[in-house]
Chain A
Amino acid sequence: MMEITLILLQLIFFIVVAPFLSGLITKFKNGFRMRKGQSVFQPYYNLLKLFSKGQVVSETTSWIFKVTPFIVISAVLTVTLLIPVFIFSSPLYWMSDFLAVIFIFALSRFFLALAALDTGSSFGGMGSSREMFISSLVEPALCLVVFSVFLQFGSTNISVFSGQHAVSVSSMVAAMALFLVAITETSRIPVDNQETHLELTMIHEAMVLEYSGASLALIEMAAHIKQMIWFFLIAQIIFPITALNLANLTGLFFWGLWYLARILIIVIGVALVEVLVAKMRLFRVVDFLGFVFVLGVIAMVCAILGV
């Protein structure tokens, strides 16, 4: 019973908060640019709008195109249940394995790419090609980061690392790398640009170009949630939260504050990067990810040296 409630709690938490974070990032970006900018709740409006609109489906598409949104959303929702949020263990702790998480994301990506090819437009092809290219280059770096972080826990289970580790050099470097990975995975500047629809630069957008209405809403939702998941993981690594005791409320209050604050810090970080850095050419991304890989190696070495 406990677990069921936890599951529902987490699901609802992610679904409700995720768009907010995207809105927040946009807000911050505009702030840095000295603009007023759209409301923080704009993503919610977008989703509602999309749901209320009808959709157009290309005649060349097959059932792949139709099922993809559900697979994508199910993948991310599944992952939400695998990471610890409220307590030091995820609801499905006996399958909350980080490597598995990577594979599950791969599932959603796989189908998005297929759906993009399914439309038969060259945008879709371009998008899926680039998406697969970048993601496949992300994998090794990510793998190294996972190793270097989880080696000190002796297991790749996400549930184990909340609350029980001290920040070390290696974990800092790893978090740095993970941050860059997150930027790549959430298709943000400098790797990709969510705001453009210029053929030559878009990657993720190009894949979902043919989607409209509710399907698009699901996909966007998935994107928001995925981003939130990454933030939580990074937060868990850099700013490990101490055990909270429900006894004294002030403690609880400060704990909660800190809990949100660390997410906020990451959000600001992302916003800063988006503002400060220019979008890279596609083949510069190779170097970028190479750099991430090197970071991973460094993290690994630090982990081995025990610093």
Chain B
Amino acid sequence: MLIFFILGIPLLLALACLFVKGERILGILNAIGYLIILFLSAILLKQIALSGAIRSFFGFICLDTLSVFFIFVIAVVVFASALYSIGYIKNDIEKGIISEKKARIYYLLFNLFSCSMFFVPAVNNLGMLWVAIEMTTLISAFLVGFYNRKESVEAAWKYIIICSVGIVFALLGTILFSYAFSISGLSKSLNWSDMVPVAHILDKNILKIAFIFILVGYGTKAGLAPMHTWLPDAHSQAVAPISALLSGVLLKTAVYAILRFGIIIIKGVGFAYFAHLMILLGVISLIVSSGFILVQKDLKRLLAYSSIEHIGIISIGFGLGTPLACAGALMHVFNHAVTKSFMFFGAGNIVSIYRKHNMNAIRGVIRVLPFTGMMMFLGVFALTGFAPFSIFISEMMIIVAAFTKGAYLIAAVLLLFLAVIFGAFINHFGKMLFGNLPKGMIKTGERLSGKLAFLFLGLLICGIGVAFIFIKGEWIWIVQKLFLV
């Protein structure tokens, strides 16, 4: 039942945007709404964990631990970015970059966007899954092109076209799945909850081809190289909170879709096929992204490429497929979502003060924005997998899994490129955060809401890390209780 609230509240907020005047109230309303959603999703997580999967609304909605986990991740990031939006939008209005009316449109789209994202893990029917993901593209396209600049329009166009094409392939894959389903003489259905149990009797050949379409299609949305090309453009042009949402959770929804089909494939075709494809694309993404990160000049693009890197790591994790690796990958989904939105908030603050994306023009942040600077300073280490932050733990899990599985080559590649990327990041941010500031720059205050968002995410980043370091048997037991009987 909770799920309907989770899906409904954003719609209500969207309606509110049409009637309520005053963006400030809207912002606060948003934040409150998503706080509620956060709690609800947490409760839901517990519930599902205890009671196992549920289907409701004529099997239209079907939730198991996996989907609820993703819903939870989405809820966390959306809440944080709603919180951050308050200050950010206010700032833009005061600077006269956008109008009051535009702000309301922003909140409208924001809510629709998050609503469509909540739909993705919730729905049972793979066709509807497709529709929901396409919806996220269409809505967020506006948010990418939100500031009417040449670049933003260009980015939006590339975003919408490339993603749509990818998605169309995904649809093709979906249809092939249903074809495989129908020729196996079973009653026609696109519900994964119906497909999974019978996956093993489906036609392997068709499943294989279908999965390639799915992988390329949703992989485009997830930003796996070489289909990642839209991602840096979109991320760098979107409104800061939206950039956070895009790389924090939008990519993850695509990953979720891939997993859904992956489960069927594993059952039907066998694990190796899935594993090899995932690892291949993952490694390509890692390598490509590391190259771009090394020589990047634009702050937000840098972060975007690091998203590609992390998606690569996640898919490697799922590709390895041992329980530890999957746990690592799932945790990485969460950690990356949190950390990356954290970084994007920081980038948003920096860009809105310095008015440029070019990192060579940004110097001495720590003195202009002490709070943001400090947070970014920690954030860089968190993002590049430095202990004791959370990403370190999940990456560690994946690498450990690789070693224990005997996949030394993959582990070596991971270690090598993570080190390279680390170096690049420290180099970029060291210069940006410190260094002598450009003239005309003075210490400026920051908004409370932004700080709150930072603290909220920061708490999660450090908290998870520390918790998992000094974890004890009983703690684990609680986690278990959270997830299952």
Whether A and B touch (Cβ < 8 Å) is answered with no
Q: Which residues of A contact B (CB under 8 A)?
A: none
Q: Which residues of B contact A (CB under 8 A)?
A: none
